[in-house]
Amino acid sequence: MHETEWSEVVATTTPEYLKGASDLTIREHPVFATLEQKGKIFFNQSGTELRWTNKFGLPDVEAYTGGAIGYEPSDKHRQLVIDWRGYRVSDMLSIKDQLMNRGAQAIIDRYSRVIPDMEQAMRDMFAMELYVDGTTYTDRFCGLETFMQADTDNCLVGDIIAPPSGTYGGWNCEPGTVAGAWSASLTTKPNAHLGTDWPDGTGDTEYGFNAPKLVNYGSTSWGTTYTTWAKNAERALRRTTLWLGVDVGKSNKPSMYLMTQRMYYDYLQEVSTLRKIDVPARRLIELGFDGVMQDGVELTYEYGVPEDTCYGLNLDKLEMHCMTGKLFESRGPEWDMRTACHLFLLFTFGNWKFVSPKFFAKLYPYATQ
C-alpha cells in the first residue's frame, strides 16, 4: 500500500467511525437522548451568531369605554444572542514515526488506537458542557450555569428562592429589572430582598421573562424543620413544578429533574419511608436510564451534575445547535512540510440554546443557616 493510500484509508474510515461515536454520545445521556427523541438536535447551522426571538410580553388590554381608539405598535419580543463556541483535539504522526513503523498497516493500526482515544476525550467533554457557565468560561458552550447565577448575599435561610443575578442572551435575569410589576400581598415572601410574591402571586409577563427559578432547598421554610436535601426534596420539587407550570403555563412544566447520583439515592431512601411504591419513569427506562416520577415529572441522575445541585429542565425549550454535520467531525491526515508530520484534527462547533431561562430551575442550598 502506497504512503498516500494509508492516509486515504484513515481519512475515509474515520468519519463513519465518528458518526457511530456521535450516536453513542447521544444515546448514553438522558438529556441528549431525550432531545434526539424530540427532534431538538440541529446540525449544519450557520450564521455569525446564534439568534432567536423570545416573547417578552403581551399586548395591553384596555376596557372599552367608547370614543376614539388609540393605535400604537406593540414591541413585545426581544432577541437573544449568543456566539458559537468550539472544541478540538489533535494528533500528529512524524516522519520519524512513519519510518519506525514502516508499512501502511502498521500506521493504520496506530491510528486505530489513537482515534478512539481522541473520540472518547471529545465524548467525555461534550457530556459535561450542559452544566458550564459560558459567561465565566468564554470559550466553552453556554450551559445551564450561564444563567443560574444567584445573588447569594440576598438569600437568607428563611428564603425559599434566591434572586437570579446573571444574564443570558444579552438580557438581565433578575426579575423586574427589564420591565413589569408583580404582586406583593403575601405576608411571607419567597425572597425578602425581591419584596414581591414571585414566583407565587400574579404579575406582568415582562417581570420574569428571562428569570430562572433558583430554589433554596436548604431553607428553614419548607415546613419540615430540616435544611437537608433528603428531608426537603419532595416539597421543593413539587413547589418548583408548580412555579414553572403556573408562571409559564401548565403545558410548560418541567419534563425532567436531573441531579447527582447521591441526591437521587437520598431522595429514593427518604420517599421509600413514606410509601412503598415508586412510580417508574417509563420513557427513561425504555431509553436505558434509571428514573422515577413525581407529580408527572421524570427524576433521574447523571455523572457531571455539580455537587448538591438538581436542575429542573423543560426539554421542549432546550436545543442543541451544531455547525457541523454531526457532533464530531474530522480533518486529515494532511502532510505538513513545516513539521514533517501528518496532522489529524477532531472538532465540533455549536452551542446550547435555552429558549428562555424562565423555563428552567436550579435547586441548591443557597442559604442553610
- Please report, for residues 46, 95, 286, 331, 343, the alpha-carbon distance to residue 335 in angstroms, rounded to integers and kept in the order given: 29, 10, 46, 12, 6
Same domain (yes/no): 97, 22: yes
Same domain (yes/no): 131, 149: no
> What gap in Å lies between CA 287 and CA 272, rounded to an integer?
24
61 is a domain residue: no
309 is a domain residue: yes
For the stretch 12-48, pLDDT in tens is 666 666 666 566 566 678 888 888 889 999 999 999 9
pLDDT over 50 (residue 360):
yes
DSSP of 166-215, one letter per residue?
A: -EETTEE-STTSSS--B----SS-SSTTT-S-TTSS-B-GGGGTT--EEE
Same domain (yes/no): 159, 245: yes
338 is a domain residue: yes
> What gap in Å lies between CA 305 and CA 309, rounded to an integer?
7
11 is a domain residue: yes
Mean pLDDT of 311-340: 88
> What gap in Å lies between CA 329 and CA 325, rounded to an integer?
7
263 is a domain residue: yes
Same domain (yes/no): 171, 276: yes
Structure-derived torsion over alpha carbons of residues 190, 193, 197, 202, reported in degrees to the nearest 10: -130
- Please report, for residues 47, 247, 368, the alpha-carbon distance to residue 168 in angstroms, rounded to integers and kept in the order given: 19, 19, 27
For the stretch 46-68, pLDDT in tens is 999 999 877 766 666 677 777 77
> What gap in Å lies between CA 41 and CA 7, rounded to an integer?
32
Same domain (yes/no): 162, 133: no
340 is a domain residue: yes
Same domain (yes/no): 242, 208: yes
pTM of this structure: 0.85
What spatial distance separates the first Cα and last Cα of the chain, rounded to whole Å? 71
Grid-cell match 443560574, residue found:
148
Q: Are 29 and 127 in contact (CB under 8 A)?
A: yes
324 is a domain residue: no
Same domain (yes/no): 104, 168: no
3-class secondary-structure state, position 146: helix
Same domain (yes/no): 26, 162: no
Taken in order 227, 233, 239, 243, is the CA torsion positive or negative? positive
> What gap in Å lies between CA 111 and CA 92, rounded to an integer?
10
Provide the domain limits for residue 236.
144-318+356-364
Grid-cell match 410589576, residue found:
181
- Pick the closest to residue 300 from 281, 318, 274 (CA basis): 281
For the stretch 221-249, pLDDT in tens is 999 999 999 999 999 999 999 999 875 55
Position 1 confidence tier, pLDDT thresholds 50, 70, 90 = very low
> What gap in Å lies between CA 28 and CA 287, rounded to an integer?
9
Same domain (yes/no): 228, 255: yes
Taken in order 219, 269, 294, 283, is the CA torsion positive or negative? positive
127 is a domain residue: yes
Same domain (yes/no): 126, 160: no
Same domain (yes/no): 48, 25: yes
Same domain (yes/no): 255, 282: yes
Mean pLDDT of 328-357: 86
Number of domains in the chain: 2
Residue 101: what pLDDT? 66
